[in-house]
Structure 1
């Protein structure tokens, strides 16, 4: 299958808007609860759902194997599969098997993660670009036991211009998250028309506009603090002054986070689609209650999927 065909098939399968599956930090949601949740989200009209991954604990491929089998049509993606969690040949084998078992319903998102994740796997982080290139190259190396000969879309988590360029060179597209629509427009220009562009949109749903904005500010402040240098550099390249980034200004919050009522969330998603995103996935704050967050995503569906 040619790359453009893989990309177009993914666009058709994902649709314009999907959801990031809730990700509690204290305790994993029981598998039966997860099965029920994705069934509800599928019936609500969402065509795609994505899951995250760290190093150790939850395995994104196993999780999606269970959830793919529990749904009829929904497409699932890893957002992202952490490269420190498994060998590249193993990642390819797992992705190919899911793609073979559920044709057209799986997208592999890969990310280089953070230095502490590499350290937890007993590895040196090194250069993110060189590390990612080496990982993707090694996915195609011969293995003791063969992987299914199946094509599947592969995209890279990317915020910096060099990682975006690498994504366009060695994969089927890119997956930036928590970025303003201006970044999406630049990413589309960098990737060109034939690559898949999936954008993660962090959202805070609250009909009290001021409270929604303050919660959104807390979410963005946490993101800036977690990856201060690299993420702040991304925002600076978009024209945000250092002071605005440090203070997490209203303008920055409004640009990056979808916040407010469902109509406001849907409007922010449409901004990214108009800027060139193929697919926008809405992400509630990490660490919330799984059942409560699924209820919230279900309530958002009429505004997002109509």
Structure 2
């Protein structure tokens, strides 16, 4: 899957203050594809939007873009539902989907009326339950599962029960540790915070440093408070230069 993702991707800009219409999201995805972008990621919290439904809309509007969730929140849907939705996307759009998922925060569990519990045990049980029988059966299609992991214990669990890990906002030293923990054959996706307006040469240097320390794929992650169009204009500028 690392080959399919390519070395670099970007987050589709988001807004926490107002909804972005489906038309604007589709236009943005097509715009990124035409600019030469290879992989686009989207986020998810509990409420507001469903990342997997969002990607179904965007994948239908594009021809080649690979999409991933960074991350799909485990409290937003039941494990079998997560697997069934992911498998349907993977069946409909072969080699164009990666499921990144994470345990999130206690308040997100509380928002759904559930106990957060111990993060490692919660994630292990969730992934186990993803493969329980559903009715009707989910498509028998393989897709990559990676786990959001910003600490050594979750990294080790990702290496054990998933296809890789997705740390966010961590320095290259952590990327090196993650590669050592995961081993050479697991997918290591790194989310790199980037301020809109940063010089392309500086962005390229930061991306290169994470690749040199073990990342397979780096996601450029804008600040949460950046405007949708401001971020899209910046991605337009960066895409052909990176």
Class of the TM-score when normalised by the shorter of the 2 chains: over 0.9
* Structure 1: tracts of 5 or more residues without a match: 1-9, 207-259
Distance in 1 (CA, whole Å) between partners of 2:75 and 2:225 is 22
* Structure 2: tracts of 5 or more residues without a match: none
| Residue 52 of structure 2 is aligned to residue 114 of structure 1 | no
Poorly superposed stretches of 4+, deviation over 6 Å? none
> TM-score scaled by structure 2?
0.98
The answer for the alignment partner of 1:179 in structure 2 is: 170
* TM-superposed deviation, 1:160: 1.1
> TM-score scaled by structure 1?
0.78
* TM-superposed deviation, 1:291: 1.7
Match of 1:270 among 200, 203, 208: 208
Conserved 8 A contact 1:41-1:298: yes
The answer for the alignment partner of 1:240 in structure 2 is: none
The answer for the alignment partner of 1:62 in structure 2 is: 53
**Corresponding residue SS for 2:194:** strand
Conserved 8 A contact 2:74-2:101: yes
* TM-superposed deviation, 1:142: 1.1
Distance in 1 (CA, whole Å) between partners of 2:31 and 2:156 is 37
The answer for the alignment partner of 1:125 in structure 2 is: 116
Distance in 2 (CA, whole Å) between partners of 1:134 and 1:112 is 11
Report which of the two structures shows the higher radius of gyration computed on alpha carbons.
1
Give the alignment of 1:40-119 within 5 angstroms: 40-119=31-110
Distance in 2 (CA, whole Å) between partners of 1:22 and 1:269 is 19
Distance in 1 (CA, whole Å) between partners of 2:94 and 2:86 is 11
Distance in 2 (CA, whole Å) between partners of 1:42 and 1:28 is 22
* TM-superposed deviation, 1:79: 0.2
Provide the alpha-carbon RMSD of the alignment. Answer: 0.8
The answer for the alignment partner of 1:199 in structure 2 is: 190
* TM-superposed deviation, 1:144: 2.3
Match of 1:139 among 127, 130, 138: 130
Distance in 2 (CA, whole Å) between partners of 1:175 and 1:280 is 10
* TM-superposed deviation, 1:287: 2.9
**Corresponding residue SS for 2:195:** strand
Distance in 2 (CA, whole Å) between partners of 1:81 and 1:46 is 22
Conserved 8 A contact 1:112-1:131: yes
Q: How many pairs align?
A: 242
The answer for the alignment partner of 1:280 in structure 2 is: 218
Distance in 2 (CA, whole Å) between partners of 1:89 and 1:40 is 34
Conserved 8 A contact 2:72-2:99: yes
CA change 1:67–1:271 in 2 (3 A) is: same
Distance in 1 (CA, whole Å) between partners of 2:155 and 2:67 is 22
User: Counting helix residues as a fraction of each chain, which structure ranks higher?
Assistant: 1
Conserved 8 A contact 1:205-1:262: no
* TM-superposed deviation, 1:205: 3.2
* TM-superposed deviation, 1:57: 1.7
